[in-house]
Chains A and B, each alone.
Chain A
């Protein structure tokens, strides 16, 4: 099995052989992106990336998410790394028997840096987490997002996701 640095060297070698066209830039980005488990040191870049995409800096949330899912036991917290920087992240866990739903993979956070949009980074993250789910015997992956979130909605659709048999409901409980 290759180590992370071997993977990076191998990917960089492939990247250097590609011509410098727009299409090859996408291929280069795809090839040189390494998907790996998140580590504590990634949180600064993850928080920055999330704040860039959502406009809210949530240090406590991300630290708690890392404490809970960073060990790979309760869920999966993966990052995409390119040129030694975090350019994307994905977070998910296995949920079971919520209103009769057999165990399934849940993706509840995904972010990709603006500079690497449409370069396959999101797909690579999603494929990786799906692989992790599959390895635990999971056959379905689900997510929930805002109807107005066109970017993520289009992304998940492009990955083959579609409306499932469950529906999200809510009620205002504030006075």
Chain B
């Protein structure tokens, strides 16, 4: 599954901010850490402020901080602010009505359902608590 750029920026920001909820970070600080466009990130952060997941404080020592509930907010909640992954593709072709087309649609639906269930089962807290398990399984690089 390929998430769009805004969704990925939002996930990086939320997870970074939620890892230390008392801390304020500027868009530039987040952008520098993840090597992403700060211009694009500011727009994403505004969406997160509107969604009341992130608070912003202006001035020196200000910035953004996570204000949501880490136990309740899931990865799916964040993804769905930026894209509708539950909806089937808008373009509908005549071939979709054929026997093969319908069977293919069912298989795609099966994959989508697994994706949605997975994203919906991982809260921010669970992600932050368990992300080291994924780190442990990365292939070791030799220096």
Residues of A within 8 A of B (CB): 147-148, 150, 153-154, 156-158, 160, 162-163
How many whole Å from A159's CB to the nearest CB in chain B? Answer: 8
> CB distance A157 to B114 under 8 Å?
no
CA distance A36 to B114 in the complex (A): 35
Given A147-B113, A147-B114, decide whether A154 and B121 contact each other with a Cβ distance below 8 A. yes
> CB distance B130 to A160 under 8 Å?
yes
How many whole Å from B18's CB to the nearest CB in chain A? Answer: 15
Query: Can you list 21 pairs linking A and B with CB atoms under 8 Å apart?
Result: A147-B114, A147-B117, A148-B117, A150-B117, A150-B120, A150-B121, A153-B120, A153-B121, A154-B74, A154-B120, A154-B123, A157-B121, A157-B126, A158-B123, A158-B126, A158-B130, A160-B129, A160-B130, A160-B133, A162-B130, A162-B134
> CB distance A162 to B117 under 8 Å?
no
> CB distance B118 to A163 under 8 Å?
yes
> CB distance A154 to B126 under 8 Å?
yes
CA distance A154 to B133 in the complex (A): 16
- Please, which residues of chain B bring their CB within 8 A of the CB of A160? 129-130, 133
| CB nearest neighbor in A for B71 | A118
**B125 contacts chain A at the CB level, 8 A cutoff:** yes
- Please, which residues of chain B bring their CB within 8 A of the CB of A147? 113-114, 117
How many whole Å from A120's CB to the nearest CB in chain B? Answer: 13
CA distance A147 to B113 in the complex (A): 8
CA distance A147 to B134 in the complex (A): 22
CA distance A157 to B120 in the complex (A): 10
- Please, which residues of chain A bring their CB within 8 A of the CB of B118? 163
CA distance A69 to B123 in the complex (A): 33
**B31 contacts chain A at the CB level, 8 A cutoff:** no
How many whole Å from B80's CB to the nearest CB in chain A? Answer: 15
- Please, which residues of chain A bring their CB within 8 A of the CB of B123? 154, 157-158
**B122 contacts chain A at the CB level, 8 A cutoff:** yes
- Please, which residues of chain B bring their CB within 8 A of the CB of A153? 117, 120-121
- Please, which residues of chain A bring their CB within 8 A of the CB of B74? 154
